[in-house]
Structure 1
């Protein structure tokens, strides 16, 4: 009788896990061209074959900033059940864009968050992302900024004298934000951080933007808390091609990291079961034509069904 109980319990757990997997699919937010037409979305059953939604038309057009761009859209599902999105609004402004939605189709008013307006010598605020911190029950928004005169040891004339580091604010409600602070200085020009929780640690995927000697690849760093301090940087997890805009998700027992092979006008991916040893699976993924830097996340099949009807 006891053995039968544990057998039934095991079958129940397996069935529940399978049902949860069956009830969700993977979604990808991205932009095309210069980001002038706004938010694009794609979906996948297995994380390998991706199909554009709404005939690859925009789900939300940019309205804020003089440039009216919506580059690098990052979407997460919040603890409130809503989808929260941040994006790059301009090449030169000192703030980022924010909007939220219940269904990825109808969005709130677009909000400009002036995260670096206090820095007179800040040149930009690029590739913002959001990660939820369950320990403090708050969201961390982080991005890359070049501040003229800071970190002179890595300042060069190439790349238009950009010399980024990662900065952050936290918020509980997307109305009130803490003051911006330095999140990570890996000792080189760095951009495009994306942070996920793995077991009891946080892992940051970040682009080494160094041009001399050339890097232009994705690396990792680890921390005990979401705001750091983060460890020394790893060796590259991507290949000889130039890569940017990493975004990660766990599929079964493996971490998949997608990235933009921007000089090749292709998308790439690597996977790992330990976050140390990585396998390049770029040849096995199919992405919408023209896809640029975005974010992977999960949605329910019910939500997908509605998105498939979007016109």
Structure 2
């Protein structure tokens, strides 16, 4: 068993972005996925907004900014899905915008998931399927180009002949690239709740799957990697239906990872959520202290009978995923 390395030191008692706040107009079901970065003293959020119906199909990739992590301003819509619901469009739904700075080319790069979408059958989930990873590049050079605009340049990973046998109908449903001492690696995921590793000589690729025989991690989604001050890598993930908690994995080299360690936050007295969803990455605040922004629903949608085969989106009436904020500290030892 891997030792716990983080403890929850505080939880903001309310969401920092939620329904009714400025900037959420037209956002029907809230936020999920993406990344928070801290740059030049400000916090920058890249996230998916579940803007309308069909739920999980009609989405926007949005950019928000804050000076203090509590008060947020919606800056722009980076991209918007087509909302196509007949399975013909690779960009019917857009998810998980992940910004990475390409120091060699001096450009911000945005990677994100593109799905086809059509009505589910009793046997299969088609709301988000045949996923592939797109890459877009900021048209403004240098660190100040974080806000974009971004222009899509192509796909980095797609389902196909080189897919691992454990990849499912969703195709590639998450992707997070990170630089190790051995070059570029990425966590990539597929249904159901499994993840593998890929590697590439450069951020722009070509990317090749490493975990071909079996996934590198199970019952985890959307791992997001950060490097601690002592050199260790941590990957925070969404525990989905199996765990219904967030958690993390630890690595000394970014290639060989520990078993999942669950983050025990559900018993915190400031808990406001019914179900945590996606961690938005670890933000270093110095001196062994970190912020963990995350998305979470006001109610637990796993309590809905037959959620994955529900015939009407009305079962999600009253559900909204907000952005929360908690503080973590490294355990001593």
Question: Which stretch shows the higher mean deviation, 195-204 or 223-232?
Answer: 195-204
Structure 1 residue 222: Cα displacement: 1.1
Match for residue 299 of structure 1? 284
1:166-219 Cα distance to aligned partner (Å, 9 max, x none)? 11211142242213521212535111211211136221111122xxxxx53111
CA distance in 1, matches of 2:98, 2:180: 17
Alignment partner, residue 131 of structure 1: 100
**Greater helix proportion:** 1
Q: 1:278 aligns with which of 254, 257, 260?
A: 257
Unpaired segments ≥5 residues, structure 1 = 1-45, 150-155, 210-214
Residue matched to 1:23:
none
Partner Cα distance (1:97, 1:64) in 2: 13
| 1:225-236 superposed matches below 5 A | 225-234=202-211, 235-236=214-215
Distance 1:48 1:135, change over 3 A: same
- Check if 1:183 corresponds to 2:183: no
| Divergent runs of 4+, >3 A | 115-120, 287-290, 301-305
Distance between the aligned counterparts of 1:52 and 1:73, measured in 2? 22
Counterpart for residue 108 of structure 1: 73
CA shift digits 1:250-308 (9 cap, x unpaired): 2323222221221121233322223333221526x433564321222333359989x99
Query: 1:304 and 1:198, CA in 2 relative to 1: closer, same or farther beyond 3 A?
Result: closer
Question: Which residue, out of 50, 71, 80, partners 2:8?
Answer: 50
Higher gyration radius (CA):
1
How many Å apart are 1:93 and its aligned residue? 2.3
If the length of structure 2 is used for normalisation, what is the TM-score?
Answer: 0.64
Match of 1:165 among 106, 117, 132: 132
RMSD: 3.3
Return the structure number with greater strand share: 2
Query: Does the C-alpha gap of structure 1 residues 276 and 76 become closer, same or farther in structure 2, counting only changes over 3 Å?
Result: same
Contact 1:131 1:139 in 2 (8 A): yes
1:226-258 C-alpha deviation (Å, 9 max, x unpaired): 12111223142224xx22121122232322222
Residues 288, 193 of structure 1: alpha-carbon distance in 2 compared, 3 angstrom cutoff? farther
Other-structure match for 2:17: 60
Q: Structure 2: any 5+ residue segments left out of the alignment? A: 51-55, 268-274, 292-324, 327-333
Whole-angstrom distance in 1 between the partners of 2:112 and 2:34: 12
Task: Give distance in 2, aligned partners of 1:134 and 1:157.
Answer: 45
Alignment match of 1:98 (pick from 60, 63, 80)? 63
**What residue in structure 2 maps to residue 259 of structure 1?**
237
Alignment of 1:145-156 (within 5 A): 145-147=114-116
Could you state the TM-score of these two structures normalised by the residue count of structure 1? 0.68
The 3 A distance-change label for structure 1 pair 261 and 136 is: same
What's the offset of the Cα at 1:116?
A: 4.7
Name the count of aligned residue pairs: 247
